[in-house]
Amino acid sequence: MTTNPQVPLPVIHSAIREDIISNLLSWYDENKRPLPWRGAEPYAVWISEIMLQQTQVISALPFYDRFLKRFPTLRSLAESSQEDVLSHWAGLGYYARARNLHRAAQIMIENHDGQLPQTAEQLEALPGIGRYTSGAILSAAFNQQRPIVDTNVVRVLCRVFGLPGDPRSTHNQKMLWSFAEQLVPADRPGDFNQAMMELGAVLCSIDEPGCERCPILKHCAAGNSADPSVFPEYPANRPTVTVTHSSAILRNDTGEVLIVQRPQHGLWGGLWEFPRVICEPGEPEIQAAARAVSEYIGVETRIGKRLAKIKHTVTHHRITLYGYFAEIETGLLSETKIQEKGCCRWVELSKLRNYPFSSPQTILREHLLIANCL
C-alpha cells in the first residue's frame, strides 16, 4: 500500500461499526479490570495517562497511588519543587514525563484557572500532551467523542482491518486514526476507547491473541486468518547498542559523598548520580571512574574496590554500570572547585534518598547505603 493523498481513506460499513461498538462495550462491561483512574476526576485521569505513556498498567499502579497521595491536586503539583516531583517519579523512567507534568500544571494554574482545558488544541499546547493523550483525556474525563491510537489500539486495528505494512508509516497512521475516529461512538466514547485498549492489553496480545474469546472476531481479518500475530507488520528492531558506564563514589573528610545533577534535557534529565562517564573503547572501567571525578571537580583520585556492577536496559541501549570507591590522590578539594560546577553537591549518606536518581544509579546508591547499613 503506497502513500497517496488522493486515495480516499476506507469507510467502515455502518452495520459493522455498530456491531463492533456494541460487542466491544458489552465485553468491556463484563471484563474490565478495576483500575483506580477509571471514572476518576480529570486531574487524576491526566496523571494516569502520562504515567501510561511508556509504562505498563501493572508497573504504573503503585506509582499512581503514591503520586496522587503526595500531589492530590493540580495546584499541589504546580507548587511543588521539580525535585520533589522527580523523587515521586523515580523508578518509573522516562523522566521528561515528570518534568512536563510539573510544567503543564504550572501553565494550567497561570492560564486555565487551575483546570484541565477541554479542547484538543489547548490540551496539546501543554508540555507532554500529544494527540493520543488529549484524546484519552477528553474522552475519559469529559465524555467527548475523540479517538485514541496507542500501541494496543494499533495492534487491534491492524488486525481487525488486516492493515499491511509498518503501522508507523505516514499513510498507515492516517488509516489508523481514521478507523479510530470512525469507530468511537458519541455515547460512552471514554468507555469505548478504554475497551479498545483493554482488548489489546488482555486478549489481543502480541504473540498469542485469544481470538476464540474475542467479542469482535467475526469482523476481524487477522482473527480469521492462519496467524493473527503477523499483524502489525513492524520492521525488524533496531540493533541493540552495548555501552559501559563507570561511576566514582567519592567521600570527603566529613563522610559526605559527591553527587552531580544531570542537565535538564536528554536522558535522565535533572536527575542526580555519582560522577559518571561512558567508557571510551578499550578504556578500563577503573580508569574511567577516575576520569569521571576529574571531569567534574578537577582532582586526581585513587580508585579503590568495586562497589557494584549493574546491568540496565533503556530503549535500545544495554548499559553496564560499574561503581568504584574513590579517594583523592593529589590536588586540593577546594570548595571553589565544587561551587564552580553548580551541578555538584556533597551530601550526607543519610540524605542521599532525598535526591531523585536514575534507575541504575538508584541501585548503585542502594548498594552504597546497604554497605553502610543505612
Pick one of 128, 167, 223, 275: the residue that binds ligand SF4 (CB under 6 A). 223
- 158 contacts ligand SF4 (rule: CB under 6 A): no
DSSP letter, residue 354? G
- 228 contacts ligand SF4 (rule: CB under 6 A): yes
Cα(363)–Cα(91) distance, integer angstroms = 10
- 156 contacts ligand SF4 (rule: CB under 6 A): yes
**Smaller CB separation from ligand SF4, 126 or 203:** 203
Specify the stretch interacting with ligand SF4 by CB under 6 A; choose among 95-103, 214-222, 261-269, 274-282. 214-222
- 217 contacts ligand SF4 (rule: CB under 6 A): yes
What are the beta bridge partners of residue 302? Answer: 327
- 326 contacts ligand SF4 (rule: CB under 6 A): no
Cβ pair 261, 270 in contact under 8 A: yes
- 180 contacts ligand SF4 (rule: CB under 6 A): no
Cβ pair 347, 273 in contact under 8 A: no
Specify the stretch interacting with ligand SF4 by CB under 6 A; choose among 14-22, 96-104, 220-228, 275-283. 220-228
Backbone angles phi, psi at 149, to 5 degrees: -135, 100
List, as one string, the DSSP characters of 240-266. Answer: PEEEEEEEEEEB-TTS-EEEEEPPSSS
- 12 contacts ligand SF4 (rule: CB under 6 A): no
Rg from Cα positions in the chain: 25
**Smaller CB separation from ligand SF4, 141 or 201:** 201
- 204 contacts ligand SF4 (rule: CB under 6 A): yes
Q: Is 233 a catalytic residue?
A: no
Pick one of 44, 197, 214, 364: the residue that binds ligand SF4 (CB under 6 A). 214
Pick one of 136, 203, 277, 333: the residue that binds ligand SF4 (CB under 6 A). 203
Nearest to 127 by CA among 163, 85, 161, 169: 85
Cβ pair 319, 306 in contact under 8 A: no
| Residue from 18, 30, 41, 49 carrying the catalytic annotation | 49
* Residue 199, number of CB atoms within 10 A of its CB: 24
Number of residues that make up the chain: 374
Cβ pair 136, 148 in contact under 8 A: yes
In angstroms, what is the minimal distance from the CB of 215 to ligand SF4?
Answer: 8
Which residue's CB atom is positioned nearest to ligand SF4?
223
- 149 contacts ligand SF4 (rule: CB under 6 A): no
Cβ pair 55, 93 in contact under 8 A: yes
3-state DSSP helix/strand/coil % of the chain, to nearest 5:
45, 15, 40
Pick one of 222, 279, 303, 364: the residue that binds ligand SF4 (CB under 6 A). 222
Residues interacting with ligand SF4, by CB under 6 A? 156, 159-160, 203-204, 209-211, 214, 216-217, 220, 222-223, 228
| Catalytically active residues, by annotation | 49
